[in-house]
A and B are shown apart, each in its own frame.
Chain A
Amino acid sequence: MKLLEIEGLVTELASDGQWLRAVNQVSLAVNRGETFCLVGESGSGKSVTALSVMGLLPEERHRHPAGRIRLHDDVPGRPAGEVVDLLGADATTMEKVRGGRIGMIFQEPMTSLNPVLTIGEQLDEVLQLHQPDLTDEGREARILSALEEVRMPDPAKRIREFPHRLSGGQRQRVMIAMALICEPALLIADEPTTALDVTVQAEILELMRELQTRRGMGMLFITHDFGVVAQIADTVGVMRRGELVECGPVAEVLRQPRHDYTRSLIAALPERLPREARPMARRATTSPLIELRDLEVYFPVRQGFMRRVVDHFKAVDGVSLSVAAGEVLALVGESGCGKTTLGRALLRLIEPTAGSIRLEGQDITTLPPRAMRPLRRRMQVVFQDPGSSLNPRLPIVTTLIEPMRVHGIGRDDDERRARAAELLAKVEMPTDSLWRYPHEFSGGQRQRLAIARALVLEPRFILCDEITSALDVSVQAGILRLLRRLVDEEGLGMLFITHNMGVVEYLADRMAVMHAGRVVESGPTAKVLRAPQEDYTRSLLAAVPRLDGALAIA
């Protein structure tokens, strides 16, 4: 039975005085009790489609030259059995539809709740709006049961708490409760688990699936992750540049994709990337490039008037690791486990509290900054966020040349410029990127440039801190291949921090699993992934949504 019907939807957005087509001739239908997954890379128009349904696009800055969105559901204030056209509906009808008949969950749990209102007040507001005939007690009972339904621990207490007291997963539960409290017929979820850790993601997905079956709602689920699609979808639609290129039952689309784009997307998943034979000989002979022994990084917890140190937060609590030349060590863990802190301490960007760091046999734990400077040439870093990894005010050429000048590489600027151009070719970027500014590049291109900046100093060791987690799969695939080639051909040592098991599988020779500041398990990648020894590793691996696993069950 059809619930939401989108027919030939075209959405155009205003940008700098011209209209850009963000959604082009999209037709799809969501049935009751069914999950429709819209999947695509960023900029493919999947969110704009959802916002068009909700009527949430900025007024005056969007238009729909063609298409219809129809909701087959009774809207309060309208005659029963009437089909509502959402694009043509007036403001009062849309108010009733939003929140009342269609609920929505957004991606970022940190910003979708109002920080100055308690959880209870925010849920109460939705109820007051959509069910004004409920009494105060009736509303409170509904709020409690809604929070219980999303399995919020201790709901009676949580009602009076503010969003900042809740973890990301709990906030997303509140968001789900808020979206579902008026028992909508359709739930739109826009990447609801992207910002969450895998274990939390697994719980939230399970919860959503369960609530959906219990209530028989339709669900429009937007994601970029094929693992999630395999786990939750009944029907899947693949979007590319505003068009729905392929649509069908999930098992069919994922097993035998008909469209080339779907095929290339699935092939770009890191666990599906073909692996080449690696030269193993080099590693055996070399001693470790970087060696950490019992490294500890504590942050003081200060309290009171004089800011006395009352306690220490143990971000990194006795970690020993080593990375050899020509080897990739993956450091895996959930957010907050201290993996990023470990990386920064290793580069001496944060001062370690105790333990030792050895770079090619030399102890650098307590070297003063001045003595550290010449050594920095040997260890470089690439950061996570492509938006901030390059100085936005400097052209790429300055960013690349300056470190060379400081470290005395190349005789003059012409020679350095030539070297920079060579490096750009190595990271597969056009030479005229030299004269451009970071904002002119896409996320993937910026990460390539950041890698070029790291390579400029001919380092022996590179730290990569989640460098692909903000990127689309196809872009990620390109970067992963590039990294692997650099390690194999130039014999670099690399510590790759990530939370993506697929990436680990493709890239890493060895892996270490980190939890609460400690390394709980480490060993060769294949061994740890296939036969994890520790409970934590096992639960972490089980939570990862996988295309192959889900398909095998389905």
Chain B
Amino acid sequence: MTEPLFSQPPAQAGADSQGRPPHQPLPDPVAEERQAAADRRSQPWSRQVLSALLRRTGARIGLVWISLLVLVATFAPFIANSHPLYLVVDGQASSPLLTNLAGEDWIWLVGFLSGVVLLNLSGRFWLRLSSWLILLGLTTLLTHFFVSPPVLTIHEQYRELEASGGIERIVRAPIPYSAKDYLRDYGDTGIEAPLAADDRRHWLGTEENGADVAARMIHASRIALGIGFIATGIALLIGTLIGGLMGYFSGVVDIIGMRLVEIFEAIPTLFLLLTFVAFFGRSIYMMMIIIGITSWSGYARYVRAEFLKLREQDFVQAAVACGLPLWSILFRHMLPNGLAPLLVAASFGVASAILAEATLSFLGLGLVDDPSWGQMLNQAVQSSTFNWWLAVFPGGAIFLTVFAYNLIGEALRDAVDPHTRRAGGGRA
């Protein structure tokens, strides 16, 4: 790096090593004053990584698909629902869709909207993240006590009402079928190819019980997203904590931690899941937790390796020499510097959690009535004929989602790695 004699003009971002302008003027004190007054701030690392990420086509494709899924999952009841959005019967207007919203729907909606608002607010990332989580927890509590949609829902009633001519005005969702609307009113409904029936429009066909595949797939996107994020979140939390302690303290803590990691790595996740399902019944939350607590070991290894390396770095030693408290050294000085490989691993981890759930559902050990992409795949091969629409659409969705996460992971790896970001950077 070139430096003019004895004077230290501020270096420009991205212009280090070879990138110096050939003739830098000596600093002019007046100009410097003005610059200080303007209070120019430079971009934090997270912003830089984000913009590097967004420059990559793979990441863009992946992010577009994931955001599409998030949108669909959030507004699932408004996209596919047997309950009409707006209904006027005997001069009385009502919205059966809104009154039938379940607690889960409210949580998704509140989570999504507050997430969008908080993302656009300024402030510390950790502060915003924790306030978002607190808000989610509060919503869960509130909906638990106050939101109680009718236990027995009769999806057919609106169609029957409409047929009897008692309806003055009706506005339906784009796909007028709920995920669990088995169309009993049509009699012998069963498995049907897309657009096979003349009187009903099923864009993606129906499954063996007669429910609309498109509606089920839309509602199933929640499970795919939820299991990916929550399971990986649990794994990240445990892995970072244990790995961080192992890396920072090393010695005995490290030896014990590594044995723990090895024990957990020896547990076959799928068989543990099968056992738990067999003993305790099927629950999506149990699956999330089991996938989470069996897959933290990889993250712990990453964090440990990073921390072992970082511990020797001068800025960490300087932080110790400044007498900073342990939590600050671990979480402010070390963790953000060791985060990069963790983020990459996490995006691949989300993909594998989705696959684990799909596998389980495919094996018929997933959720009973609730829709899931893997379970639909299962139905594709269960009946005597091969039902292509039950294989192609859910299979495609699984494929695209896993592919999107892998694309993001790949792009993230390139974005956080300075060697690929600025290939052939500088040589003095």
Q: Are A349 and B321 in touch, CB under 8 angstroms?
A: yes
Is B325 among interface residues, defined by CB-CB distance under 8 A?
yes
A507 to chain B, nearest CB (A): 17
Is B17 among interface residues, defined by CB-CB distance under 8 A?
yes
B336 to chain A, nearest CB (A): 4
Q: How many residues of B contact A (CB 8 A)?
A: 54
| A373 contacts across to B, CB distance below 8 A | 323, 325
Tell which of A403, A431, A432, A442 touches B322, judged by Cβ atoms closer than 8 Å.
Answer: A403
Which of under 10, 10 to 19, 20 to 34, or 35 or more describes the interface residues of A?
35 or more
A403 to chain B, nearest CB (A): 4
Q: Are B424 and A61 in touch, CB under 8 angstroms?
A: yes
Interface-facing stretch out of B40-48, B87-95, B133-141 = B40-48
Q: Are A374 and B323 in touch, CB under 8 angstroms?
A: yes
Q: Are A264 and B10 in touch, CB under 8 angstroms?
A: no
Q: Are A376 and B322 in touch, CB under 8 angstroms?
A: yes
Q: Are B22 and A21 in touch, CB under 8 angstroms?
A: yes
Tell which of B13, B14, B43, B313 touches A388, judged by Cβ atoms closer than 8 Å.
Answer: B313
Please, what's the 1-or-0 string for A363-400, where 1 marks a CB less than 8 Å from any CB in chain B? 00000000011111101110111001111111100000
Q: Are B337 and A41 in touch, CB under 8 angstroms?
A: no
Q: Are A20 and B36 in touch, CB under 8 angstroms?
A: no
A210 to chain B, nearest CB (A): 29
A390 to B41: give the CA distance in the assembly, Å: 18
Q: Are B322 and A445 in touch, CB under 8 angstroms?
A: no
Is B1 among interface residues, defined by CB-CB distance under 8 A?
yes
| A477 contacts across to B, CB distance below 8 A | 6
Cβ-Cβ contact count across A and B, 8 Å cutoff:
170
Q: Are A440 and B5 in touch, CB under 8 angstroms?
A: no
| A47 contacts across to B, CB distance below 8 A | 427-428
B335 to chain A, nearest CB (A): 9
Q: Are A406 and B325 in touch, CB under 8 angstroms?
A: yes
Is A503 among interface residues, defined by CB-CB distance under 8 A?
no
A376 to B325: give the CA distance in the assembly, Å: 12
Q: Are B36 and A402 in touch, CB under 8 angstroms?
A: no
Q: Are B317 and A445 in touch, CB under 8 angstroms?
A: no
Please, what's the 1-or-0 string for B287-322, where 1 marks a CB less than 8 Å from any CB in chain A? 000000000000000000000000001110111111
| A58 contacts across to B, CB distance below 8 A | 424
Is A524 among interface residues, defined by CB-CB distance under 8 A?
no
- For residue A431, which residue of chain B has the nearest CB? B36
| A442 contacts across to B, CB distance below 8 A | 1-3, 8, 11, 16
A444 to B4: give the CA distance in the assembly, Å: 11
A321 to B238: give the CA distance in the assembly, Å: 46
Q: Are A441 and B11 in touch, CB under 8 angstroms?
A: yes
A323 to B346: give the CA distance in the assembly, Å: 51
Q: Are A51 and B27 in touch, CB under 8 angstroms?
A: no
Is A73 among interface residues, defined by CB-CB distance under 8 A?
no
Is B419 among interface residues, defined by CB-CB distance under 8 A?
no
Is B200 among interface residues, defined by CB-CB distance under 8 A?
no
Is A93 among interface residues, defined by CB-CB distance under 8 A?
no
Q: Are A20 and B18 in touch, CB under 8 angstroms?
A: yes
Q: Are A349 and B320 in touch, CB under 8 angstroms?
A: yes
- For residue B10, which residue of chain A has the nearest CB? A430
- For residue A260, which residue of chain B has the nearest CB? B5
Q: Are A403 and B10 in touch, CB under 8 angstroms?
A: no
A22 to B425: give the CA distance in the assembly, Å: 12
Is A514 among interface residues, defined by CB-CB distance under 8 A?
no
Is B396 among interface residues, defined by CB-CB distance under 8 A?
no
Q: Are A43 and B14 in touch, CB under 8 angstroms?
A: no
Is A53 among interface residues, defined by CB-CB distance under 8 A?
no
Q: Are A392 and B14 in touch, CB under 8 angstroms?
A: no
Using CB atoms and an 8 Å cutoff, list the residues of chain A in contact with chain B: 13-16, 20-22, 41-44, 47-48, 51, 58, 61, 241-242, 264, 268, 344, 347, 349, 372-377, 379-381, 383-385, 388-395, 402-403, 406-407, 428-433, 435-437, 439-445, 448, 450, 453-454, 457, 472, 474-475, 477-478
17 contacts between A and B (CB under 8 A): A13-B18, A16-B19, A43-B428, A268-B5, A376-B321, A381-B318, A383-B317, A389-B318, A392-B337, A393-B45, A393-B337, A403-B324, A407-B323, A432-B32, A437-B43, A441-B10, A444-B8
Q: A264-B5, A389-B318, A430-B8 are in contact. List 7 more A-B contacts (CB 8 A).
A: A13-B427, A20-B19, A43-B1, A377-B323, A393-B337, A406-B323, A431-B32
